[in-house]
Structures are given as C-alpha cells and as structure tokens.
C-alpha cells in the first residue's frame, strides 16, 4: 500500500532554500566587469575603441581585401527581421505543442490529461425506474456506506445511506440508494462511462465523494468520481489515462486510506503474471496515480475473487487482502507497520472448492472490530465467515463457514459487503434481480432478506 518511502502518504519532504539567490554579492551573469570592478556600458569590453600599440600595421593586401568586403551589415539595426524570426519560432513551437496534445495517450496527453476520452467533462445522470433498468444477468456489484461523503456533502441525506452500483449494459451504470428519504423504486443512471457489459464493479466512499471503478472493453482500469455539488455531477476519473492493463477475468476491490483521503484499487494482472496488484492515488484532490511499492502481492488463479478490509488498531491503519490460489483455497496478506506481510496465510474454515471466478465480498463490521468474508460456494449457497481484528489476532483464524438463507444459481453472481456501525449488509445479483441481506450480528446465521 505504501509508496516508495513506506508511508501511505508518500509525500516528499523538504523545500527549496529561499535564501539561495545569485544576487547576494555576486556578479550578474552575462555582464562583463572591468578591471576596476565597474560595469562597462553597452556591453563594451576593456579593449573597445582603444588602439593596440603592439599591433603591426595592415598590409596593402589586407587593406584592399577590407575595402572589397565593405562593412558587414548590422542585423541588430533591423528589428523587422528579428520580429519575423521570432514569429516563425513561436508558430513552430505552437504547432508542435498542438500535435503533441492531439496524439492519443502521448507524452503531453498523459502529463495534462488532455485527450478524446479524458475526464474533463461531466457525464449525463438521469433518474429512472429500477423496473425499467434492471441489471444485466449476474451483474457485478459495488457498494459503500457513505459516512464520509455524506458528512461533507452540501446536501446530506437524513441518515447515512448505503449506495449500490450495478451495470445495465451499454456503458451505463445505475446507483440504488438505501436510506430513509430515498425512493426504493428509483435509481440514478450514469451514461457514457465506457464500462464493458460484464465488468466487475467496486465502490468506495472518501472525503472527496464516492468513486466507482470498473473495466473498459479493452480491460483497462477506469472509474468515475462524484463531484460535491447540488447537481448530482459525476465525471470520468483520471485513472483511465494510465492504461493499466488487467486480466480479462479480473475481479476488483477498493478501499480508502489515510482516513478517507486516498484510494487504492486491487486487481489481477494479465497472464502469464496472474499476480494481484494495487494501484492508487495518495490524495483525492490529486490527478496522479501510482503503483504500490511492493509490486506483486500474490499469485492467484485466473479470475480470482478479490476482497479487502481496512480497520484501525492501536491508532494504526491496517488492511487485509483476500484472493484465491490455484487450488481454490482462500489466502490473505496483511498490511501493517507500513509494509505487506511476506507470506500469505490460508483462511481457516473456508472450503478448498470455492468455484473459480467466485466473488469475495469483504468488509469490516461492528465499528471495525470484525471482518466479514462472504462468497458463493460450489452448491450456489451464500456463505459467510468472520474473524476479530483485535491486536494480536491471527489473520487466518476465521469462524466456521455458515450458509445464509439466500442461494444463487451462479457462483459468479455479483457480490458486495458493506459494514456500518450498527449492522452488516450483503448485496448479491441473481439473474436480473438484486437481493439484500441485513443483520445486526454478523456472526449469526439468520439474516433479513429483501429484494431491492
């Protein structure tokens, strides 16, 4: 998680020395100084207009040659000439700059984020009926408890809402809001995102607002960011300009860091690597993204589910990453003390036969005191396990797997887990429906089931 210096922030410390001016008792560059220390006028040197008594008189041939050549023209006395040259230079530089900006994903395109698909414009958002805009079959899902963005919103909800994002196809993503003052029958749909029809989805909540991440048709990481205003504005994230290639069947997971000021995405690299990697931004106000300092985090089976959980223990932020290895077992690595653990540990109690490509839903619940892990097993049953996050707890010591009351026909059904101070919530896509499960006790087998 941490950048090069081991800190999640990764900012470079230090500043320029304001006292380091060249004007402190030094001669200005390009200005000649006479032997007596006085500056000479008009750029003259000490030999100007003086005769050299030791110089030999010119010969007749030299005098004749000088007369034939005449006096060389002084171009400094022709301002129109230099104005013409300067104009040509400015036009040439401007032409090169314009061409460089127009090259898709060229150097300047990357530096300033200017390009045909760049995220400078806003996206169209409309309110629609959920019944008329159902998800694609087994749509990927993302969900977030909007504690941070709602607090800083100019128009906060009455009560902290949970948002669920799903895919309707054609590059349109829709958001269902679960709160006391939101209509359960309406959704907000964002057009023109460029998300592919079978993309995985992940959603996070930060101080800067909500963000949704997905894959394009070229299997590149992309995303959209919510803008804090009264117009419900979304725009494309600068993430797309980095052209981060992923495995075509990768799952996605994301989380905020530094108490909601930075964001990190976890994904699977293309074959033959198949490694789990992370890509993040250190500050939600920044347009710059970075690779994690560790690089590869773990070898996973193709299409592995990916889940992440964040909590605070002893004043320190910690993270646990989950993924499937080739055998089908679930493994995890922990980020603490500003470094990733060297060796992954197996999640106890998880069956080894979790289907390939099954989603892993992970979140901290109970005010961060517990991690909830959910997935769909080979029998199509939604399964959950938990472990405490207290200091010194074994990262692999999960409870026995429990089957919840909801089942799915597909192990690749979209799945997302959300934790809030009072309850845990699991959302799952089944065919063209989205099912929600709630419980105020994540260790229980009894969950309230409701269709969104």
The band of 28, judged by pLDDT with boundaries at 50, 70 and 90, is very low
CA angle 413, 364, 313 (to 5 degrees): 155
Residues paired with residue 290 on neighbouring β-strands, in sequence order: 280
Contacts of 54 (CB under 8 A, 6+ apart): none
On whether both 112 and 131 belong to a single domain, the answer is: no
d(CA 229, CA 212): 17
Q: What is the pLDDT of residues 163-180, one digit of tens each?
A: 999 999 999 999 998 876
Percent of the chain at pLDDT exceeding 70: 71
Per-residue DSSP letter, 47: T
Placement of tokens 């992440």 in the chain: 308
Residue 46 in domain = no
- Say what the pLDDT of residue 99 is: 58
On whether both 201 and 96 belong to a single domain, the answer is: no
**pLDDT average, residue stretch 230-256:** 91
User: Cis peptide before 434, with omega less than 30 degrees from 0?
Assistant: no
Which has the minimum average pLDDT: 226-230, 290-294, 355-359?
226-230
On whether both 91 and 182 belong to a single domain, the answer is: no
Final residue before a domain boundary, out of 116, 136, 158 = 116
| Of residues 212, 207, 204, 209, the one with CA closest to residue 232 | 209
- Say what the pLDDT of residue 356 is: 85
On whether both 372 and 408 belong to a single domain, the answer is: yes
Task: Classify each residue of 183-213 as buried b or exposed e, where b means 16 or more C-beta atoms within 10 Å of its C-beta.
Answer: eeebbbbbebbbbbebbbbbbbbbbbbbbbb
d(CA 165, CA 176): 6
Residue 436 in domain = yes
- Say what the pLDDT of residue 126 is: 93
Residues paired with residue 127 on neighbouring β-strands, in sequence order: 188
* Residue 376 Cα distances to 77, 265, 309, 383, 439, angstroms: 84, 22, 18, 6, 18
**pLDDT average, residue stretch 136-144:** 92
State whether the Cα torsion 320-324-326-331 is positive or negative. Answer: positive
Which has the minimum average pLDDT: 13-27, 119-133, 310-324, 395-409?
13-27
**Structural domain tally of the chain?**
2
Residue 75 in domain = no
**Confidence check: pLDDT of 209 > 80:** yes
The band of 77, judged by pLDDT with boundaries at 50, 70 and 90, is low
d(CA 402, CA 400): 6
Placement of tokens 């997905």 in the chain: 214
The band of 449, judged by pLDDT with boundaries at 50, 70 and 90, is confident
d(CA 72, CA 320): 78
Q: What is the pLDDT of residues 97-112, one digit of tens each?
A: 665 544 433 444 344 4
For residue 213, give the CATH number of its domain.
2.120.10.70
On whether both 94 and 165 belong to a single domain, the answer is: no
Secondary structure (DSSP) of 181-232: TS-TTEEEEE----B-TT---EEEEETTEEEEEEEBTT-BEEEEEEE-STT-
Residue span of the structural domain in which 106 resides:
82-116
Average pLDDT of the chain? Answer: 77
The band of 223, judged by pLDDT with boundaries at 50, 70 and 90, is very high
The band of 5, judged by pLDDT with boundaries at 50, 70 and 90, is very low
**Confidence check: pLDDT of 47 > 60:** no
Task: Classify each residue of 328-340 as buried b or exposed e, where b means 16 or more C-beta atoms within 10 Å of its C-beta.
Answer: bebbbbbbbeeeb
On whether both 261 and 311 belong to a single domain, the answer is: yes
Placement of tokens 């060796």 in the chain: 343
Phi, psi (degrees; rounded to nearest 5) at 64: -65, -40
On whether both 303 and 432 belong to a single domain, the answer is: yes
């Amino acid at each position: 998680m941490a950048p090069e210096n081991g800190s999640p922030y990764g900012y470079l410390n230090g500043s320029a020395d304001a006292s380091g001016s060249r004007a402190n008792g030094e001669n200005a560059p390009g200005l000649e100084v006479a032997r007596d220390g006085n500056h000479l006028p008009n750029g003259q040197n000490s030999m100007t207009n003086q005769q050299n008594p030791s110089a030999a008189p010119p010969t007749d041939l030299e005098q004749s040659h000088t007369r034939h050549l005449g006096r060389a023209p002084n171009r400094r006395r022709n301002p129109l000439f230099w104005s013409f040259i300067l104009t040509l230079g400015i036009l040439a530089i401007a032409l090169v700059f314009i061409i460089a900006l127009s090259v898709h994903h060229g150097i300047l395109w990357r530096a300033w984020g200017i390009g045909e698909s760049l995220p400078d414009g806003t996206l169209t958002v409309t309110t629609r009926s959920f019944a008329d805009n159902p998800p694609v079959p087994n749509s990927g899902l993302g969900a977030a408890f909007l504690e941070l963005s709602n607090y800083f919103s100019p128009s906060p909800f009455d009560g902290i809402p949970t948002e669920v994002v799903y895919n309707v196809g054609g590059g349109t993503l829709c958001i269902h809001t679960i709160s006391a003052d939101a209509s359960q029958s309406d959704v907000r749909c964002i057009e023109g995102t460029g998300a592919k029809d079978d993309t995985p989805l992940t959603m996070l909540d930060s101080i800067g607002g909500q963000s949704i991440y997905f894959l394009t048709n070229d299997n590149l990481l992309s995303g959209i960011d919510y803008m804090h205003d009264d117009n419900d504005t979304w725009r494309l994230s600068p993430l797309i300009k980095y052209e981060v290639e992923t495995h075509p069947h990768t799952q996605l997971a994301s989380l905020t860091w530094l108490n909601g000021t930075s964001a990190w995405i976890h994904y699977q690299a293309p074959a033959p690597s198949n490694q789990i990697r992370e890509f993040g931004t250190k500050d939600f106000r920044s347009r710059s993204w970075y690779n994690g300092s560790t690089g590869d985090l773990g070898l996973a089976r193709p299409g592995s589910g990916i889940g992440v959980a964040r909590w605070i223990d002893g004043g320190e932020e910690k993270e646990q990453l989950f993924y499937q290895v080739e055998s089908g077992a679930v493994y995890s690595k922990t980020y603490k003390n500003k470094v990733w653990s060297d060796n992954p540990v197996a999640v106890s109690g998880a069956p080894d036969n979790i289907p390939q490509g099954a989603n892993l839903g992970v979140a901290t619940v109970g005010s961060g005191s517990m991690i909830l892990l959910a997935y769909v097993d080979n029998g199509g049953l939604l399964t959950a396990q938990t472990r405490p996050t207290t200091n010194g707890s074994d990262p692999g010591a999960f409870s026995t797997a429990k089957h919840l009351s909801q089942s799915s026909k597909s192990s690749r059904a979209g799945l997302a887990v959300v934790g809030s101070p009072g309850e845990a919530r699991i959302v799952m896509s089944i065919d063209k429906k989205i099912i929600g499960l709630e419980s105020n006790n994540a260790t229980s087998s009894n969950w309230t089931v409701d269709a969104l």
